[in-house]
Amino acid sequence: MEVTEVQSFNPPLGGPSALPGGGGGGFSLPASRFSSEDILFCIDVGPETMVEMKVNGPNGRPYTRLESIKQAILLFVHAKLTINPDHRFAFTALSKSTYWLRKEFSSEVDSAIAALRGLSVDSSSSHADLTQLFKVATHEAKKSRGQNRIFRVILLYCRSSMPPQYQFPSTLKLFTLDVMYLHDKPGPDNCPQMVYDTLVEALERVSEFEGYIFESGQGLTRALFRHMCVLLSHPQQRCMQDEMDVPKSLIKKSPAAETAQGDDSVVSSQ
């Protein structure tokens, strides 16, 4: 049986909120300790990042996955700082193992731009090993937690036939792991579903808070950007991924809209 898309967690529009209950859908904003984040990006630089997306750049040729990823990261950094200028970012790259692009955490956009410029593809990469990433993240997370920050790793992974290998660090759940997985369509020579499942397993074991994983095999930049926006979610305020109800569609609740749309995406304020 040909599977055209790996199992995805795209929720139906207007899906349920995290908690049961009427009225406001059960979401509350209790006064609780709320930390700024230290976010470590880990960007795959293996050869599959040179695969083209389905969208053309300004010069007429299609964006590569890596170019889209860079743009997606800038989108994330800008948006995250608009939300709260106290969040900070650092950058690593993943070829066979992980190496630093920028080690100091900073809330300056310029330092993100400079780090991303330092990205270069390693066409020789075969298997990726996340052990070093987990070790580094555990070490850095301890420092961040000492400063009353929470630590997050966002992994951007692009290999369709190579599930990542990893050994878990001795202390788990010191940081939250999110994954954005870009892959080819499933075929006889690849195994994106297996890669995806391996990533899910890592995320579930390692993550302090609910980690989110998104995948995209369609080559659409706007899907990548949309997923990155969902990844903006602050880990301390997340619901389970299955219960995610964003982005919400803004359709007016006018009588005309109701009859035209049927029961499709009409949001009630009750």
Partner 1 sequence: MAIDTVPPLVAAQLNYLISHCPFSVKVEQMWSGCKNPSLLDRFTLVIPYCLDYIKWDVIYNAMYPLAAPDVIFGPEDESFQPFYGGNEKSRKNSLADWNSKDPARLLSLIIELRDAYIAYQRRRIEEVDDDRLKFEISTMLSREGIEMYMTSCTDKPEEVKFAVPLLDMGLNKLVAGSTWRHPQKIYLQVVFPVGKKHSTPPPPRLKLISSAELKALFSIEDFRLPPWLDGMCTAEYLPTLEEMLESQIKDAVSSVEMRRKFITALVPLFGRPIEADPVFCRRATFLASSGVFTFLVHFSLSLQFPKQQAGLTLQSSQHFNSNGMPVKSPNLSEYPWSPRWEPSEMADRIFDFLADECLNFKKYCNQLNQQ
**C-beta closer to partner 1: residue 14 or 47:** 14
Q: Is 181 helix (H, G, I), strand (E, B) or coil?
A: strand
Smallest distance from the beta carbon of 263 to partner 1, in angstroms? Answer: 17
Q: Cα–Cα distance between 232 and 229 in angstroms, integer?
A: 5
Interaction pattern, residues 50-69, with partner 1; x per rule: CB under 8 A: --------------------
Cβ at position 2, least distance to partner 1 in Å:
26
Pick the binder of partner 1 from 1, 12, 20, 29 (CB under 8 A).
29
> Applying CB under 8 A, which of residues 47, 251, 258, 266 lies at the interface with partner 1?
251
Q: CA–CA separation, 177 vs 246, rounded Å?
A: 20
Under 8 Å between Cβ of 116 and 70 = yes
Q: Are the beta carbons of 15 and 245 closer than 8 angstroms?
A: yes
Instruction: Match 């310029």 to its residue by tokens.
Output: 110
The reply on whether position 241 binds partner 1 by CB under 8 A is no
75: its two tokens: 């989108």
Q: Assess 230 for contact with partner 1 (CB under 8 A).
A: yes
Near partner 1 by CB under 8 A: residue from 54, 139, 142, 248? 248
Q: Is residue 83 near partner 1 by the rule CB under 8 A?
A: yes
Token digits of residue 79: 């948006």
Tokens of 51: 């695969």
Q: Are 43 and 156 in contact (CB under 8 A)?
A: yes
Using DSSP, state whether 37 is helix, strand or coil: strand
Least Cβ distance, residue 91 to partner 1 (angstroms)? 15
Site size for partner 1, by CB under 8 A?
Answer: 51
CA distances from 53 to 69, 220, 222 (A): 11, 6, 11
Least distance CB 251 / partner 1 (angstroms): 6
Q: Which residues bind partner 1 (CB under 8 A)?
A: 17-18, 23-25, 27-35, 71, 74-75, 78-79, 82-84, 109, 113, 148, 221-222, 225-226, 228-230, 232-234, 237, 239, 244-253, 267-270
